[in-house]
């Protein structure tokens, strides 16, 4: 739902990020309110992933402030309220890991050090696997799953901590259509439970009906913020040229003008 009155969950003011001295984000303001489903869109290199990384604290700000749930980012300790799904390719490591283990690692935000898993922990992991439709694969190795299924595992991992705010970085990139649909179903369930979702996407695909606010980035700045746009609006030409016109029609060439001026001066 588009929510203009709810309490702000993310408040970014003047967010500026430079990577290697080169500005990637330039003075962006973004307020996301409770329960919103926001899609961050734009071309490659427009800064949408960097903005999400800045909002989660992975990318230090050069300038500006970020408040999560009203708390400045560097003081933000209630990490269990935050769920993060990184870009693809990080689900497998050098050692086999089961789907359940990867998902359970998302529960660490709510588990203390040196504590055994409680019944609530196991229930949350089982529920997260259920939401993404992988309950029957819990005991399998993550590396035996397809790319789209691995992406769903990463979403389940973020879900396991039962967060209120989700950041997803390109969850649908390189994922086939049935898996995109499964992802969309999972996000629909989440959104229905009242979670706030901030999603980076190049193309929305099956996610389109869920998005109630689109933020389009261009060259490190927010270029559009409002109801979702069609593909043509985002990628098409923004400045339609109707007719050719001369800026200074009475001038043929600089010398014409000079000689004209010269004569004028004589008059």
Partner 1 sequence: MSPTELLDLLRHDFMQRALLAALLTGLAAPGIGTFLVQRRLALLGDGIGHVAVTGVALGLLTGTSPTWTAVVVAILGAVLIEVIREQGHTNGDVALALLFYGGLAGGVLITGLAGEGAASLQVYLFGSVTSISATEVWYTAGLAVVVLTLTLGLLPQLFAVASDPEFARVAGLRVRSYNLLVAVLAAVSVTVAMRTVGLLLVSALMVVPVATSQQLARSFRSTLVAAMVLGGVAAVGGLVVSAWLSARATVAPGPSIVLLALAMFAATWPLGVWLRRRRRLAEPFPIVGDESSGDPGVPDTHRMAGHDDRAHDHEHDHEHGEACGHPAVPHGDHVDYVHDGHRHAPHGEHYDEH
Q: Which of 23, 133, 141, 147 binds partner 1 (CB under 8 A)?
A: 141
Q: Copy the structure tokens of residue 231.
A: 């593909």
Cβ proximity to partner 1, 6 vs 141, nearer residue: 141
Distances (CA, A) of 125 to 158, 167, 256: 10, 19, 79
Q: Residue 56, interface with partner 1 (CB under 8 A)?
A: yes
- E strands of 2-155, at which residues? 8-19, 22-33, 37-42, 63-68, 71-72, 82-85
Q: Copy the structure tokens of residue 227.
A: 């109801």
Name the one range near partner 1 by CB under 8 A: 21-29, 137-145, 234-242, 250-258.
Answer: 137-145
CB atoms within 10 A of CB 196: 25
Q: Residue 67, interface with partner 1 (CB under 8 A)?
A: no
CB of 169 to partner 1, least distance (A): 9
| Contacts of residue 152, Cβ cutoff 8 Å, sequence gap at least 6 | 132, 133, 134, 179, 182, 183, 186
Cβ proximity to partner 1, 3 vs 105, nearer residue: 105
Distances (CA, A) of 36 to 25, 32, 33: 23, 7, 6
Cβ proximity to partner 1, 91 vs 195, nearer residue: 91
Q: Residue 144, interface with partner 1 (CB under 8 A)?
A: yes
Residue among 10, 6, 113 nearest 54 (CA): 10
Name the one range near partner 1 by CB under 8 A: 12-20, 31-39, 177-185, 232-240.
Answer: 177-185
Q: Which of 93, 174, 226, 252 binds partner 1 (CB under 8 A)?
A: 93
154-173 residues in contact with partner 1 (CB under 8 A) are 154, 157, 161, 167
Q: Which of 20, 44, 75, 95 binds partner 1 (CB under 8 A)?
A: 95
Q: Residue 184, interface with partner 1 (CB under 8 A)?
A: no
Q: Copy the structure tokens of residue 15.
A: 């967010």
CB of 230 to partner 1, least distance (A): 20
Alpha-carbon span 48 to 244, nearest angstrom: 35
Q: Could you give the residue ranges of the DSSP H alpha helices within 108-214?
A: 119-131, 147-160, 177-192
Residues at the site binding partner 1, with contacts judged by CB under 8 A: 56-58, 77, 79, 82, 84, 86, 90-91, 93-98, 100-102, 104-106, 108-109, 111, 113-114, 139-141, 144, 146, 154, 157, 161, 167, 177-178, 181
């Amino acid at each position: 739902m588009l929510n203009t009155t709810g309490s702000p969950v993310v408040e970014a003011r003047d967010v500026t990020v430079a990577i290697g001295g080169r500005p990637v984000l330039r003075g962006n303001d973004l307020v996301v309110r409770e329960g919103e489903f926001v899609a961050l869109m734009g071309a490659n290199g427009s800064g949408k992933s960097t903005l999400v990384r800045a909002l989660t604290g992975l990318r230090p700000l050069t300038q500006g402030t970020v408040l999560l749930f009203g708390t400045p980012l560097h003081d933000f300790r209630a990490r269990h309220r935050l769920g993060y799904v990184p870009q693809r390719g990080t689900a497998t490591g050098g050692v086999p890991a089961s789907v359940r283990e990867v998902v359970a690692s998302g529960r660490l935000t709510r588990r203390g050090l040196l504590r055994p898993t409680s019944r609530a922990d196991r229930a949350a992991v089982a529920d997260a696997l259920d939401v993404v439709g992988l309950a029957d694969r819990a005991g399998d190795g993550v590396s035996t799953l397809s790319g789209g299924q691995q992406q769903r595992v990463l979403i389940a991992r973020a879900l396991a901590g039962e967060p209120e705010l989700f950041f997803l970085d390109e969850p649908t990139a390189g994922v086939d259509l049935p898996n995109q649909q499964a992802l969309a179903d999972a996000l629909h369930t989440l959104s229905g439970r009242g979670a706030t979702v901030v999603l980076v996407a190049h193309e929305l695909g099956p996610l389109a009906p869920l998005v109630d606010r689109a933020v389009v980035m261009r060259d490190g700045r927010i270029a559009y913020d409002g109801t979702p746009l069609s593909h043509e609006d985002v990628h098409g030409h923004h400045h339609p040229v109707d007719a050719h016109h001369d800026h200074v029609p009475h001038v043929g060439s600089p010398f014409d003008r000079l000689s004209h001026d010269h004569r004028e001066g004589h008059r």
